[in-house]
Every structure is written in C-alpha cells, then in structure tokens.
Chains A and B, each alone.
Chain A
C-alpha cells in the first residue's frame, strides 16, 4: 500500500475529487431547503434555486422607478471602487516597496512608520475617513487603499531586500547607478511579486469594500446585500454572494494570466 502522501490524483479523477465536495454542499443545501419548504412553503431563509433565479432575473431587469438595472449598477460601482483603489495601492506599493527594499537609508527612515501603520485595523479608521472625506466615493476608496497598501508595501520591500546581494554588486560593477539598478534590476524582479501581492490583497480589498458600502452607500454589491437584509431576502443575498465570489475568482485568474504572459522568466516550468 502506497503512503497517503504519495497518492496523486490526475486528470479526470482530480476533477471529480474537486467537484465532489461542491456537489455535496449543493445537495446539503437542497435537502435543507426542501425540508424547510415542506414545513412552510413561504420560507425565506433557505430559498429554492428556482426562487433565486427568479429574484436575480428581477435584479437584472430595468427598474421602472429609476430606469436602471440594479445588478449592473451595483457591479459597476463596486468594481470601479475596487479597481481605482487597487491601482492606487499598487502605485504606492511600487514606489515605496522598491525604495524601502533597495535603499537602506529609506528603510531606516520609513520602515518603522510603515510597520506602525500596518498594525492599525483599517475598519477602526473608517469613521475618521467618513468624517474627513464625507460619505462619497473617496472615503470608500481610501479605506481599501489604507487596508491593503501597508501589507503590499511590506511584502514587496521584503521581496526586493531578498534579491541576492551578489546581483546588486554585479549591477554596480557593470556601472549601474542607484537609479539604473532600481529600474533594470529591482523593478523587473519585483513586478511578478507585485502581481502576486495584488492577488493576495483581493480578499481583504473585497472585505473593506463591502464594509464601506454596508455603512454608507446608495449603490454597490455590498450596499444591496445589506439593504435587502431588512426584508430577509436571502433569494437575493445568496446569489449576490456567489456573484461576488465569481468576480473575485475571475480577477485572480486574469492576474495570473498577466503574470505568465508578461514575466515568462518568472514561470520557468511552463515555458518548456
């Protein structure tokens, strides 16, 4: 008998293994939902799949009151906030992460500050952001930036610091200045890591987005979920949660593809 740690599922078997738990969860839900509906046909807590589809079709229709489609409106608003925040966070990270990682003088000066900011719970800062920036888009975007940037900066700085000293000395011995070393040695090697860092930050970014939208917003995926909670509208909440997860997975896959295409050298196993 082979050791358990040497049993490697492949191909179809692997796919089946991955699908089984998902199917089990779905069946479990169906069973529980059916049981509740036998007891009370108007149950709202565990809606049937059919009810969820009907509710989502309603959400994807033009609302006669506003002339807008709630699902698209919410998705657009949330993705816009998320994207703007991630672009800002990534830009800050690129500059500060590189400088912190490459220049001992910057590390000595700003390392403690970044470490101190990183331990502040971002949600605790949300009231300050609402007071300072009002209830508009700025506060929500700032919360996401504030929440993910310290982690990303420290992650990137650690990665740049870990570039072997030999490489940095070699670059200088080839005549590279500090600027050229940053631009041609540290930056290209930092970029794949930066993408990984964005991927890891997607989860927290969604958390901060939905928190901000739950507290003060008039459109957005998080706003909608917390709005319909008042009516126990699980037939909208559950599909919305699934939709958010799907969006997160798609963003993650896109980032992986970008990294593979743009930084072939960082993924040597796939090249040959």
Chain B
C-alpha cells in the first residue's frame, strides 16, 4: 500500500487522439478520430484494407502528422518524429541485416550510451552485451546471438525485432501486422511470447492485424476502423474512423463470440478459426 502511495499519479490516458484528420491532397484517410488509450492496455486494431489502420499507427510513431487535430502522449504533443518511448515492430524489414542478433538488440543501448559513435567500449560494452543477451533470452533466441538476420526464419526475425524494441523500455509498443507473414504454428508461439512480455514488462501495446481471432485473443480492447459514410461518386472524400470500440471482458467467451461476429461484419472478412480462443 505504501508503495502505491509513493508512485506518481498515473494519467488516465497514455495516448489521446483529439479530433484527428489525415488527408493527402483531397483524399481523406482518417476523419474525426477521437480516442483515449489507457496505460497497460493491449489494443488490437482491425479493419478492411485501406481503412487507415496503418496510418493510425504511423500517427503514433511520428511517421505521419495529423492534418487537423492533435495526438498527445501523456497529455503533451510528442509524436512529431519517431522516438525511443515508442517502440515499433513492422511485418518485415524491422531488423538490421548487417548486425548479428546480439548487436541488433544492443543497437538501442549503444545509441543511448554513445551519441558520437553509436558504439561502446570496455566495461560499458560488456554491460550492454549482457543486457542484450538477457533480452534475447527473454524472446527465446539465446542460441542465436551471433547469427545474422538473413540466416534466421521469419519467426526468429520477429522475435529479434521485438527484443530489439523492448530493450529501450518503450512506454508503448506498436506492432504493425507483426505475425502476418508467419505460419499458423509459429504464430501461436508468438502469441504466447507477446502476451508474456506484455504482462511481465507491463507494456502498452497497439497491434494492427488482419486476423480477427488474433485481435480478440490478444487484445484487451478491439478497435475496428472503417468508413462511416460512403460517397459512390467520390469514395476518397470520406475517411475512416474507429467505428467499433470494444473493451474485452475475458470471462465471457460467448459475449466475445457475438462481438467477433459484429466486427466480422464491419471488416468483411471471415476470421480464421485455426487460432484457439
């Protein structure tokens, strides 16, 4: 109890979107997105192709700026370019091909420790390598320290990408279809891994996925993006927004099933039932 009292007051929302619009010329991608993301939530983001899921994530990484509205982190605008408090894992190309697994994970620590060279020496180098090795072990890659990404399977590369992102202890971890290119069996392993890491590191995760089963299995909250309005003459003039926002109660799988059907109607694709709930 005493410990709780000494902790700083946690803000209600880690990330908040205030009336955010993203437009390219006259094409509207996102319109009127207003959302709050609570700390330590696992938010799954689904939606049909072209519904702005990735654009939504890019607003947080800082690759994209809102045309109107604001994106706030801890109540302050902080997302104008990528930074270490927001870790990312993409579907592909997330790891550096010229670095061994250990060096890939040590990259973030090296950058923090050596602004001029991005490279450490002596005792500090040993400390960083130990920390990186521990992180590799946490994702099950302890036997792959010295090999290069080109020698790894897709699943191993994604494990490496996750370890690499977590080593800087980001406030929020952004996953853009991280398991989309993996085999179903490997995917299950990855689900276990990411859930374990999420709990152990008390992470906040936002994950874009095409797989509705995966979204409901992993998420504590599911967001579905789609267009609210459609203009058949000029479909690009209306953008997508979060049309469905569901906080998951893990205790009632029946409720989840009906919710899944609702999302399925929105997304317009059948969930793949090879993933057990």
List A residues at the B interface (Cβ < 8 Å): 164-167, 169-177, 179-180, 183-185, 188-189, 263-266, 268, 271-272
**A166 lies within 8 A of B118 (CB):** no
Evaluate whether A169 and B118 lie within 8 angstroms (CB atoms) in the complex, with A174-B107, A185-B96, A265-B148 already known: no
**B111 lies within 8 A of A169 (CB):** no
What is the size category of the interface that chain B forms with chain A?
35 or more
Chain B residues with CB below 8 A from A170, complex form:
88, 90, 94-96, 161, 164-165
**A177 lies within 8 A of B115 (CB):** yes
Is B138 in contact with chain A by the CB < 8 A criterion? no
Is B84 in contact with chain A by the CB < 8 A criterion? yes
Closest CB-CB distance, A233 to chain B, in whole Å?
A: 51
Indicate which residue in B61, B112, B167 contacts A169 across the interface (CB closer than 8 Å): B61
Evaluate whether A184 and B119 lie within 8 angstroms (CB atoms) in the complex, with A173-B84, A268-B150, A268-B151 already known: yes
- A87 to B208: give the CA distance in the assembly, Å: 48
Indicate which residue in A164, A176, A263, A265 contacts B111 across the interface (CB closer than 8 Å): A176
Indicate which residue in A169, A175, A185, A263 contacts B88 across the interface (CB closer than 8 Å): A169
- A243 to B200: give the CA distance in the assembly, Å: 67
Chain B residues with CB below 8 A from A179, complex form:
115-116
- A6 to B197: give the CA distance in the assembly, Å: 50
Is B108 in contact with chain A by the CB < 8 A criterion? yes
- A151 to B1: give the CA distance in the assembly, Å: 68
- A272 to B88: give the CA distance in the assembly, Å: 31
- A50 to B168: give the CA distance in the assembly, Å: 72
Residue of A nearest to B58 (CB): A169
Closest CB-CB distance, A165 to chain B, in whole Å?
A: 8
**A173 lies within 8 A of B107 (CB):** no
Known pairs A173-B170, A175-B108, A177-B115 / 15 extra A-B pairs, C-beta < 8 Å: A166-B93, A169-B88, A169-B90, A170-B90, A170-B164, A170-B165, A175-B168, A176-B111, A177-B111, A179-B115, A184-B107, A184-B119, A185-B96, A189-B97, A189-B98
Evaluate whether A172 and B81 lie within 8 angstroms (CB atoms) in the complex, with A183-B117, A184-B110 already known: yes
Evaluate whether A265 and B150 lie within 8 angstroms (CB atoms) in the complex, with A166-B94, A183-B118 already known: yes
Closest CB-CB distance, A27 to chain B, in whole Å?
A: 46
- A266 to B96: give the CA distance in the assembly, Å: 12
Is B92 in contact with chain A by the CB < 8 A criterion? yes
Is B82 in contact with chain A by the CB < 8 A criterion? yes
Chain A residues with CB below 8 A from B95, complex form:
170
**B84 lies within 8 A of A164 (CB):** no
List B residues at the A interface (Cβ < 8 Å): 61, 63, 81-84, 86-88, 90, 92-99, 107-108, 110-112, 115-119, 148, 150-151, 161, 164-165, 167-168, 170
Indicate which residue in B111, B150, B151 contacts A180 across the interface (CB closer than 8 Å): B111
**25 CB-based A-B contacts, threshold 8 Å:** A164-B93, A166-B92, A167-B96, A169-B63, A170-B88, A170-B90, A170-B164, A171-B96, A173-B61, A174-B111, A174-B168, A175-B83, A175-B84, A175-B111, A176-B111, A177-B115, A183-B117, A184-B111, A189-B96, A189-B97, A263-B98, A265-B98, A265-B150, A268-B151, A271-B151
- A171 to B118: give the CA distance in the assembly, Å: 11
Residue of B nearest to A263 (CB): B98
- A11 to B95: give the CA distance in the assembly, Å: 38
**A266 lies within 8 A of B165 (CB):** no
- A171 to B98: give the CA distance in the assembly, Å: 13
Closest CB-CB distance, B143 to chain A, in whole Å?
A: 16
Chain A residues with CB below 8 A from B61, complex form:
169, 173
Most buried by A among B94, B111, B115, B116: B111
Residue of B nearest to A176 (CB): B111
Evaluate whether A173 and B118 lie within 8 angstroms (CB atoms) in the complex, with A180-B111, A265-B148 already known: no
Evaluate whether A171 and B87 lie within 8 angstroms (CB atoms) in the complex, with A183-B117, A189-B97, A268-B148 already known: no
Chain B residues with CB below 8 A from A164, complex form:
92-93
